[in-house]
Structure 1
Protein backbone atom coordinates (compact mmCIF):
# COMPACT_ATOMS: atom_id res chain seq x y z
CA UNK A 1 0.00 0.00 0.00
CA UNK A 2 1.18 3.57 -0.52
CA UNK A 3 3.14 5.35 2.17
CA UNK A 4 4.59 8.81 2.58
CA UNK A 5 8.11 9.62 1.34
CA UNK A 6 9.25 10.09 4.95
CA UNK A 7 8.03 6.61 5.89
CA UNK A 8 9.77 5.16 2.80
CA UNK A 9 13.04 6.91 3.74
CA UNK A 10 12.74 5.59 7.29
CA UNK A 11 12.18 2.00 6.10
CA UNK A 12 15.09 2.18 3.63
CA UNK A 13 17.44 3.61 6.27
CA UNK A 14 16.63 0.80 8.72
CA UNK A 15 17.06 -1.85 5.95
CA UNK A 16 13.43 -2.91 6.32
CA UNK A 17 12.79 -2.24 2.63
CA UNK A 18 14.64 -2.26 -0.68
CA UNK A 19 14.13 -0.19 -3.82
CA UNK A 20 12.17 -2.28 -6.30
CA UNK A 21 11.84 0.31 -9.09
CA UNK A 22 13.05 3.84 -9.57
CA UNK A 23 10.39 5.05 -12.01
CA UNK A 24 7.83 5.17 -10.44
CA UNK A 25 9.66 4.96 -7.14
CA UNK A 26 8.58 1.69 -5.51
CA UNK A 27 9.89 -0.03 -2.42
CA UNK A 28 9.52 -3.65 -1.35
CA UNK A 29 9.40 -4.60 2.30
CA UNK A 30 11.93 -7.16 3.51
CA UNK A 31 10.24 -7.80 6.86
CA UNK A 32 7.16 -9.86 7.65
CA UNK A 33 4.11 -7.62 7.64
CA UNK A 34 1.58 -9.91 9.30
CA UNK A 35 -1.99 -10.33 8.21
CA UNK A 36 -3.07 -6.70 8.09
CA UNK A 37 -4.80 -5.91 4.84
CA UNK A 38 -6.34 -2.74 3.58
CA UNK A 39 -9.73 -3.20 1.89
CA UNK A 40 -9.54 -1.83 -1.64
CA UNK A 41 -12.44 -1.74 -4.07
CA UNK A 42 -11.98 -1.79 -7.82
CA UNK A 43 -14.33 0.05 -10.13
CA UNK A 44 -14.45 -0.63 -13.88
CA UNK A 45 -16.45 1.40 -16.37
CA UNK A 46 -16.32 -0.56 -19.64
CA UNK A 47 -17.59 1.65 -22.43
CA UNK A 48 -17.42 1.55 -26.22
CA UNK A 49 -14.78 4.25 -26.71
CA UNK A 50 -13.28 4.58 -23.22
CA UNK A 51 -12.57 2.20 -20.33
CA UNK A 52 -12.20 3.70 -16.87
CA UNK A 53 -10.48 2.02 -13.91
CA UNK A 54 -10.39 3.14 -10.31
CA UNK A 55 -9.04 1.56 -7.11
CA UNK A 56 -10.06 3.24 -3.88
CA UNK A 57 -10.39 2.76 -0.15
CA UNK A 58 -13.03 4.34 2.05
CA UNK A 59 -10.79 7.35 2.62
CA UNK A 60 -8.99 8.03 -0.65
CA UNK A 61 -8.61 7.06 -4.28
CA UNK A 62 -5.41 5.08 -4.83
CA UNK A 63 -5.39 4.65 -8.60
CA UNK A 64 -7.40 6.05 -11.50
CA UNK A 65 -6.91 5.67 -15.23
CA UNK A 66 -8.79 6.00 -18.48
CA UNK A 67 -7.92 4.04 -21.61
CA UNK A 68 -9.05 5.15 -25.05
CA UNK A 69 -9.91 2.16 -27.22
CA UNK A 70 -9.05 1.94 -30.92
CA UNK A 71 -11.88 2.78 -33.29
CA UNK A 72 -10.06 2.09 -36.57
CA UNK A 73 -9.81 -1.71 -36.39
CA UNK A 74 -12.94 -2.31 -38.49
CA UNK A 75 -11.72 0.03 -41.24
CA UNK A 76 -8.28 -1.59 -41.27
CA UNK A 77 -9.80 -5.06 -41.57
CA UNK A 78 -12.02 -3.90 -44.44
CA UNK A 79 -9.02 -2.45 -46.27
CA UNK A 80 -7.07 -5.67 -45.77
CA UNK A 81 -10.02 -7.69 -47.04
CA UNK A 82 -10.29 -5.52 -50.16
CA UNK A 83 -6.58 -5.91 -50.92
CA UNK A 84 -6.79 -9.67 -50.45
CA UNK A 85 -9.75 -9.91 -52.82
CA UNK A 86 -7.89 -7.83 -55.40
CA UNK A 87 -4.93 -10.21 -55.21
CA UNK A 88 -7.20 -13.21 -55.69
CA UNK A 89 -9.02 -11.72 -58.67
CA UNK A 90 -5.93 -10.35 -60.39
CA UNK A 91 -5.35 -11.77 -63.87
CA UNK A 92 -1.67 -12.64 -64.17
CA UNK A 93 -0.40 -13.61 -67.60
CA UNK A 94 2.41 -16.02 -66.92
CA UNK A 95 1.33 -17.70 -63.72
CA UNK A 96 0.12 -21.25 -64.14
CA UNK A 97 -3.46 -21.89 -63.00
CA UNK A 98 -3.68 -23.38 -59.52
CA UNK A 99 -5.69 -26.52 -60.05
CA UNK A 100 -3.35 -29.00 -58.34
CA UNK A 101 -4.21 -28.08 -54.77
CA UNK A 102 -7.60 -29.74 -54.47
CA UNK A 103 -8.41 -32.87 -52.45
CA UNK A 104 -9.61 -34.80 -55.50
CA UNK A 105 -6.22 -34.57 -57.17
CA UNK A 106 -4.27 -35.62 -54.07
CA UNK A 107 -6.08 -38.85 -53.18
CA UNK A 108 -7.52 -41.60 -55.27
CA UNK A 109 -11.23 -42.25 -54.92
CA UNK A 110 -12.25 -38.77 -53.84
Structure 2
Protein backbone atom coordinates (compact mmCIF):
# COMPACT_ATOMS: atom_id res chain seq x y z
CA UNK A 1 0.00 0.00 0.00
CA UNK A 2 1.35 3.43 -0.95
CA UNK A 3 1.27 6.44 1.32
CA UNK A 4 -1.37 9.10 0.64
CA UNK A 5 0.51 12.11 -0.85
CA UNK A 6 -2.04 14.50 0.67
CA UNK A 7 -0.98 13.47 4.19
CA UNK A 8 2.53 14.80 3.52
CA UNK A 9 1.15 18.29 2.84
CA UNK A 10 -1.06 18.31 5.93
CA UNK A 11 -4.34 18.53 4.02
CA UNK A 12 -7.36 17.48 6.10
CA UNK A 13 -8.99 15.80 3.09
CA UNK A 14 -8.36 12.89 0.73
CA UNK A 15 -8.97 13.77 -2.90
CA UNK A 16 -10.93 11.26 -4.96
CA UNK A 17 -10.76 10.10 -8.59
CA UNK A 18 -9.19 12.66 -10.97
CA UNK A 19 -9.40 15.70 -8.71
CA UNK A 20 -6.55 18.20 -8.31
CA UNK A 21 -6.42 20.73 -5.46
CA UNK A 22 -4.47 23.89 -6.35
CA UNK A 23 -3.40 27.06 -4.60
CA UNK A 24 -3.69 30.21 -6.71
CA UNK A 25 -0.61 32.33 -7.31
CA UNK A 26 -0.79 36.02 -6.45
CA UNK A 27 -3.86 38.02 -5.52
CA UNK A 28 -7.15 36.94 -7.07
CA UNK A 29 -7.61 38.59 -10.44
CA UNK A 30 -4.51 40.77 -10.49
CA UNK A 31 -1.27 40.00 -12.26
CA UNK A 32 2.18 41.51 -12.75
CA UNK A 33 3.87 42.58 -15.93
CA UNK A 34 7.43 41.40 -16.64
CA UNK A 35 8.61 44.80 -15.39
CA UNK A 36 6.85 44.23 -12.05
CA UNK A 37 3.90 46.57 -12.59
CA UNK A 38 0.69 45.32 -10.93
CA UNK A 39 -2.19 45.08 -13.42
CA UNK A 40 -5.59 45.04 -11.66
CA UNK A 41 -8.33 42.59 -12.66
CA UNK A 42 -10.46 45.48 -13.97
CA UNK A 43 -7.86 46.03 -16.72
CA UNK A 44 -7.99 42.47 -18.02
CA UNK A 45 -9.48 41.94 -21.45
CA UNK A 46 -10.64 38.69 -22.98
CA UNK A 47 -10.29 35.24 -21.51
CA UNK A 48 -7.10 34.71 -19.52
CA UNK A 49 -5.82 31.45 -18.05
CA UNK A 50 -4.22 31.38 -14.59
CA UNK A 51 -1.27 29.58 -13.01
CA UNK A 52 -1.59 27.70 -9.74
CA UNK A 53 0.41 25.18 -7.71
CA UNK A 54 -0.95 21.66 -7.23
CA UNK A 55 -1.03 20.84 -3.50
CA UNK A 56 -2.94 17.55 -3.67
CA UNK A 57 -3.99 15.02 -6.29
CA UNK A 58 -6.47 12.17 -6.43
CA UNK A 59 -5.46 8.52 -7.04
CA UNK A 60 -6.47 8.55 -10.74
CA UNK A 61 -4.50 11.66 -11.73
CA UNK A 62 -1.89 10.61 -14.29
CA UNK A 63 0.05 13.71 -15.37
CA UNK A 64 0.19 15.96 -12.30
CA UNK A 65 2.00 15.56 -8.99
CA UNK A 66 1.92 17.78 -5.90
CA UNK A 67 4.19 20.76 -6.42
CA UNK A 68 3.57 21.09 -10.18
CA UNK A 69 2.57 24.48 -11.62
CA UNK A 70 -0.60 24.06 -13.67
CA UNK A 71 -2.47 26.31 -16.11
CA UNK A 72 -6.28 26.40 -15.95
CA UNK A 73 -9.31 28.58 -16.69
CA UNK A 74 -10.13 30.52 -13.48
CA UNK A 75 -13.73 31.05 -14.65
CA UNK A 76 -14.46 27.30 -14.38
CA UNK A 77 -13.48 26.58 -10.79
CA UNK A 78 -14.82 25.34 -7.49
CA UNK A 79 -13.36 27.05 -4.45
CA UNK A 80 -12.86 25.49 -1.03
CA UNK A 81 -11.38 26.81 2.23
CA UNK A 82 -9.13 24.58 4.36
CA UNK A 83 -7.47 25.79 7.56
CA UNK A 84 -8.37 29.38 6.63
CA UNK A 85 -6.69 29.25 3.19
CA UNK A 86 -8.49 29.34 -0.13
CA UNK A 87 -7.93 26.58 -2.70
CA UNK A 88 -9.43 25.66 -6.07
CA UNK A 89 -10.66 22.14 -6.84
CA UNK A 90 -10.30 21.00 -10.47
CA UNK A 91 -10.64 17.84 -12.53
CA UNK A 92 -7.45 16.75 -14.28
CA UNK A 93 -9.12 17.29 -17.66
CA UNK A 94 -9.71 20.97 -16.77
CA UNK A 95 -5.95 21.57 -16.51
CA UNK A 96 -4.64 22.93 -19.82
CA UNK A 97 -0.89 22.53 -19.17
CA UNK A 98 1.76 21.61 -16.62
CA UNK A 99 4.92 23.73 -16.33
CA UNK A 100 7.68 22.09 -18.36
CA UNK A 101 10.28 21.72 -15.57
CA UNK A 102 9.28 18.08 -14.98
CA UNK A 103 8.39 17.08 -18.55
CA UNK A 104 10.85 14.65 -20.17
CA UNK A 105 12.61 15.90 -23.36
CA UNK A 106 11.15 13.20 -25.65
CA UNK A 107 7.67 13.25 -24.13
CA UNK A 108 4.74 14.67 -26.11
CA UNK A 109 2.53 15.03 -23.04
CA UNK A 110 -0.39 13.57 -24.98
CA UNK A 111 -2.76 10.86 -23.79
CA UNK A 112 -2.57 7.96 -26.21
Specify if TM > 0.5: no
What TM-score, normalized by structure 1, do the two folds share? Answer: 0.22
What TM-score, normalized by structure 2, do the two folds share? Answer: 0.21
Kindly name which structure, 1 or 2, has the bigger radius of gyration based on alpha carbons: 1
- Higher strand fraction (1 or 2): 2
**Which of 1 and 2 has higher RCO (CA within 8 Å, sep 6+)?**
2
